[in-house]
Structure 1
Amino acid sequence: MSPAEHPRRWFLAGGAAVVVGGGVGVGAGFLHHRSAPRRHPAPRDLVAALATELDLLALATAAVRRDAALRATANILVRDHSAHVRALRSALAAYDVPRRSAAASPSASGVPSAPSQAQVRATERAAAATAATRAGRLTGTAATLLASISACEATHGELLA
């Protein structure tokens, strides 16, 4: 081996060490940025909308049991409110929602066990107005979702008129 080859080996080994070190640094940076992104707290209006929908679902379910004449219309309400609950839960999945929140169960306000058609109608109309107000305070897809729910609640009120 000539004396000129020995420094070349050191030069190549040093270059390889730099490349390996760079690769380790890039890998560490990649793993650091892949950690779970910080989730933001859920908008209160979105969480409250879910609680309202759970109450409306309970009310419609009670109406189905109460009155045979109201059963067909109330079944439509049950399906719609179930869809609203699924949509709101899906929207809330992007946020950090506290475990003990309105997202877990209906509100403690209570739902009549045998609501009349007039009670259901009044509750649906009030829910439409509330959802519209909440939609006005939100932006983006959350606002669009609540505006759509508001329109649906207004339709429910008219179905029950």
Structure 2
Amino acid sequence: MLMPASAESLTPTAGLIASLATTTWLDTTPSGATLRCLLLVPQPPRSTYETTVVIEQRMRAVADALRLGPATAPPPDIGPRLRQVTPTEVALRFDGTPYRKRIPSGRPWTLLLGRGTPVALVLGLDPLSRSATPAAIDAYLDRATLRRRLLFGHTQSE
């Protein structure tokens, strides 16, 4: 069960990491290079303890554990954090905790992991349902970009 965060407990827990929803996709940079994208978002509140303030506090702790930066600056290189687990799944490593987030992804996405293709890691501060459609995810990204509710980093395979 997820409990309210306190000032002393801002390290991402196994429960928090497991609760994150993820989405992966392939994109193209302005120079034409392939870029893998990974979105991490919190789930909608499931109890009275999970206010928007608590959810944002937890997500900022996740962003700190990944060393992500704001959208107002170039995305920082957060070092190698991804490891292929199966042909269609990777694991994401966080600082300060032994837990990893297992992320399902398409085979083309994981194949590019071994080729050193960079990953744009995007963390949303606002909840989004795990069952969101691609159109809902695009709308979420548009809204969050305008409101500066996204944090970014570049990573690659370990």
Structure (1/2) with the larger helix percentage: 1
Same fold, judged at TM 0.5 (above): no
- TM-score, structure 1 length as denominator? 0.31
> More relative contact order in 1 or in 2 (CA 8 Å, sep 6+)?
2
Structure (1/2) with the larger strand percentage: 2
- TM-score, structure 2 length as denominator? 0.31
